[in-house]
Structure 1
Amino acid sequence: MLEIQGLTKRFGGLTAVRDVTTSFERGRINAIIGPNGAGKTTFFNLVSGSHRPTAGRIVFDGQDVTGLRPDQVARLGVARTFQSTHLFDQATVLDNLIVGHRLRTSSTFWDVIFNTQRLKEDERSCRAKAKEVLNFVGLSSVAHHRAADISQEERKRVAFALALATDPKIVLLDEPAGGVNPEETLGLAELIRKMVRSGLTVCLIEHKMDMIMSLADKIVVLDHGEMIAEGTPAQIRSDQRVIEAYLGADYAAA
């Protein structure tokens, strides 16, 4: 589904991602791991269109998307979450999610001015999609709560739902379990599996190795912007370069 060919991103004299070539299969859970500063989030920014690559190609679902704007990439079916979940805190959870499906509507500024039938149909569609994805992530009970009043774990689930509201084919999750406890981490891992069972492809960045090793079909390891290994969890766990750069001997021995 996603092919990366020689991807490079330089910021002045700093090379954040260097000549990365890999691919992610449809309907799989893929993970990107590595130390802080390894280039993981920059990699997501390149794939989602937030940054333009210095060199290389990004091919999504058979189409070259290199250098497209974020909205263009999103319309093709790439959604993402961020390390920090920023919501409209004074709005309800449901109203936050209505925004996500606007990507798939066609009403314009003039439809708003004249309150057209197309606008009304788009609003109904967005509200229905918001309810659908909220139910999918298990948060229907907080639909009418202010976003400011929900827990950190619920905010993570809302971020998932916001991505799902765009009707994606692949979802990029940036540290989806950051700041939540072990029990909540297990719940989010099961939600990721549910997303894949529903037909999505998932790629995630995460530092919780127990979660990654039990969840991922494929792991890509970055260090100083370079890909130093890729493979199954078993292959990554025993890779000496990964042990030295990131996992540490104690984790590998465990």
Structure 2
Amino acid sequence: MYLETKKLTKKFGGLLAVNEVDFSIKKGKINAIIGPNGAGKSTFFNLISGFHPPSSGEIIFKGTDITKLPSNKIATLGIARTFQTTNLFEGSTVFDNVVIGHRLRTKSNLFDAIFKTKRLKQEEEKCKEKALEVLQLVGLAKTADSLVSNITQEEKKRVAFALALATDPELVFLDEPTAGVNPDETEELSLLIEKMAGKGITICLIEHKMKMVMKLADNIMVLNYGEKIAEGLPEEINNNEAVIKAYLGGSASA
């Protein structure tokens, strides 16, 4: 098994945000998590990526229990993520924003920084090379020197992808990667997600745009009120009564 959750649960006070969810992410595939607003999707991502500790349950990655690991340790294992709201340094260039990503893989310490050691210089060079490589991959090589404050919303999404890719991940969580962009840009970002998957990166995404999910995903899980109500292939999910009810049930989508 690649990555799986067993009875994963998160309570915030009296609120049960994620309730005993069993889910397995298929290696090398595009996995998707869907559900009405407030279904617990982002909380589920936050549990797996170490931003919130689970109340109970387990997270197993390649046979290792990572349930209690903090986010920085989980990132070093090869798990990266983007956020619903793209938090970038607006006053810095696209390149400088992305360079930070590969620092996760460097060994330099305070001594190296103070004495400008050979190791520091080599690692800085490697970070720059990696940044250029991932900017090329996401189609932003020509935008590298632009200030983030001057680029479009769709380009900011691509910078967030590049930042995640700069950490050398094997599994990337994308939290609503096409929120706030138009249909043409959604199509372009879908192609980029397919391109990432084509390079052997496993993808798990949260997305509200159903047409896109049904076209992209190999495997879909549906959450509603923190509980898993369905999992399967796109065509199975499309025809699932519980899923149709969750989306058309009125209060669930509030």
Classify the TM-score, shorter chain: over 0.9
The aligned residue for residue 51 of structure 1 is: 52
The aligned residue for residue 23 of structure 2 is: 22
Question: 2: CA distance between counterparts of 1:247 and 1:128?
Answer: 48
Question: 2: CA distance between counterparts of 1:183 and 1:203?
Answer: 22
Question: 1: CA distance between counterparts of 2:185 and 2:139?
Answer: 13
Offset from partner CA, 1:145-178 (integer Å, 9 cap, x none): 0011000000000100000000001000000000
Against the structure 1 CA distance between its residues 170 and 236, is the aligned structure 2 distance closer, same or farther, given a 3 Å change threshold?
same
Offset from partner CA, 1:29-84 (integer Å, 9 cap, x none): 00000011100000000000001111111011221100100000000010000001
The aligned residue for residue 112 of structure 2 is: 111
Offset from partner CA, 1:91-122 (integer Å, 9 cap, x none): 11001001000000000112111111111111
| Offset at residue 202 of structure 1 (A) | 0.1
The aligned residue for residue 101 of structure 2 is: 100
Question: 2: CA distance between counterparts of 1:210 and 1:128?
Answer: 36
Question: 1: CA distance between counterparts of 2:91 and 2:15?
Answer: 39
Question: 1: CA distance between counterparts of 2:173 and 2:68?
Answer: 18
Question: 2: CA distance between counterparts of 1:86 and 1:68?
Answer: 23
The aligned residue for residue 40 of structure 1 is: 41
The aligned residue for residue 252 of structure 1 is: none
Whichever residue aligns with residue 97 of structure 1, its letter is V
Against the structure 1 CA distance between its residues 220 and 184, is the aligned structure 2 distance closer, same or farther, given a 3 Å change threshold?
same
Pairing 1:54-73 to 2, within 5 Å after superposition: 54-73=55-74
SS in structure 2 opposite 1:100? helix
Question: 1: CA distance between counterparts of 2:53 and 2:34?
Answer: 22
Question: 1: CA distance between counterparts of 2:154 and 2:130?
Answer: 21
Whichever residue aligns with residue 42 of structure 2, its letter is T
Pairing 1:146-157 to 2, within 5 Å after superposition: 146-157=147-158
Whichever residue aligns with residue 70 of structure 1, its letter is S
Structure 1 residue 230 corresponds to structure 2 residue 231: yes
Question: 2: CA distance between counterparts of 1:24 and 1:88?
Answer: 31
The runs of at least 4 aligned residues of structure 1 exceeding 3 Å deviation read none
Whichever residue aligns with residue 225 of structure 1, its letter is G
Normalising by the residue count of structure 1, what TM-score does the alignment of the two structures yield? Answer: 0.96
| Offset at residue 247 of structure 1 (A) | 5.5
The aligned residue for residue 199 of structure 2 is: 198
The aligned residue for residue 6 of structure 1 is: 7
| Offset at residue 248 of structure 1 (A) | 6.9
Normalising by the residue count of structure 2, what TM-score does the alignment of the two structures yield? Answer: 0.96
Offset from partner CA, 1:109-151 (integer Å, 9 cap, x none): 1211111111111100100000000000001010000011000
Question: 2: CA distance between counterparts of 1:194 and 1:114?
Answer: 41
Structure 1 residue 127 corresponds to structure 2 residue 119: no
RMSD, aligned α-carbons? 1.1
- The alignment-based identity, stated in percent, is 59
Whichever residue aligns with residue 123 of structure 1, its letter is E
The aligned residue for residue 187 of structure 1 is: 188
Question: 1: CA distance between counterparts of 2:134 and 2:248?
Answer: 35
Whichever residue aligns with residue 52 of structure 2, its letter is H
SS in structure 2 opposite 1:177? coil
Whichever residue aligns with residue 189 of structure 1, its letter is S
Question: 2: CA distance between counterparts of 1:87 and 1:11?
Answer: 28
Q: How many residues align?
A: 249
Question: 1: CA distance between counterparts of 2:91 and 2:229?
Answer: 44
SS in structure 2 opposite 1:99? helix
SS in structure 2 opposite 1:138? coil
